[in-house]
Amino acid sequence: MVVTHSDRGRRQQTESAAIVLDCQDHGESDLIVTFFCQKLGRLTGIAKGAKRSKKRFVNKLELFSSLTILHTTPKNGGLAFIAEAELLDGFLSLRQNVTRYTTATIIREIVLLATKEMEGDEDLYPLLLWVYMNLNRQHPHARLLIYFLIRLYKVIGYEPVLEYCFSCGQHLHEQKSSRFHPTSGGIHCEKCSAKQENSSRIKISTGTLKSLTTAMNQPLERLHRLQLTDISQREALSFLNAYGYHLFQRDTNSWAFLDTVVKHPR
């Protein structure tokens, strides 16, 4: 991170590696852009004259793009001033395929739900960069979404317990299958699940739980190599979606397109 000074009233500026999560028009020529930065976490700023820019911002503030930005640090909940942006990777493939675009959009929406402004998290930035890089390389998108989500929940401090029954503590890997209860936020063995009057339960096979446990602890550079059967993909996506709803108490808009991801796992 490089600290410099701008010509605008000598306001202190910082250079940050960042990924674009959101971009909205503001007036005739400005853009309000939300980034996820390597050191600072989520950062929202204004790019003055960005829509008319022919050098500083042209083709650089597209969704999912990886950048280096020069910006001020906002105070009292205000906006940062985005002075410059240097494009590192536009991840063009993500915008050329509807399934990859939908997957990338689900990821950005969940990151926006899971984070707050200026709450730095150095573990989340490399995870976000990893998933967009591998989506752009056209690795299987359903698996990437699953691996991203299970690691995201761990990073933000809500790692799901995948080895033991939420109710009785019995080892779930000794069961043929288990069930996730969204209301409790835990996974229950079949015996404990049968005792509870709850129709909104999601079945998870032992194989799926073992795969998710492996994904939780796999080194990031090898994570995309893990395999999942189509059945495990469907179970994992259903569980991770329901778990996310339990955590954030709302759906993401892009989950409506999840069938596209599941029906075309590669």
Residue 181, burial from CB neighbour count under 10 angstroms (0-12, 13-18, 19+): buried
Residues of the chain within CATH 1.20.1440.120 domain(s) are 93-263
Q: What CA–CA distance (Å, rounded) separates 253 from 250? A: 9
Q: Dig out the tokens for 39 from the structure.
A: 């050191």
Whether the predicted pLDDT of 210 surpasses 80: yes
14-53 per-position pLDDT tens digit = 999 999 999 999 988 999 999 999 999 999 999 999 988 7
At residue 137, the pLDDT reads 95
- ∠ CA 128-129-130, nearest 5°, is 90
At residue 263, the pLDDT reads 52
Query: What percentage of the chain exceeds 70 in pLDDT?
Result: 91
DSSP assignments along 67-86, one per residue: EEEEEEPP-TT-PEEEEEEE
238-251 per-position pLDDT tens digit = 999 999 999 999 88
Q: What CA–CA distance (Å, rounded) separates 21 from 111? A: 8
CATH number for 2-90: choose from 2.40.50.140, 2.40.160.40, 2.40.10.10, 1.20.1440.230: 2.40.50.140
At residue 199, the pLDDT reads 58
Residues of the chain within CATH 2.40.50.140 domain(s) are 2-90
Q: Are 180 and 192 in contact (CB under 8 A)?
A: no
CATH number for 93-263: choose from 1.20.1440.120, 3.40.50.2000, 1.10.3720.10, 3.50.50.60: 1.20.1440.120
Whether the predicted pLDDT of 258 surpasses 80: no
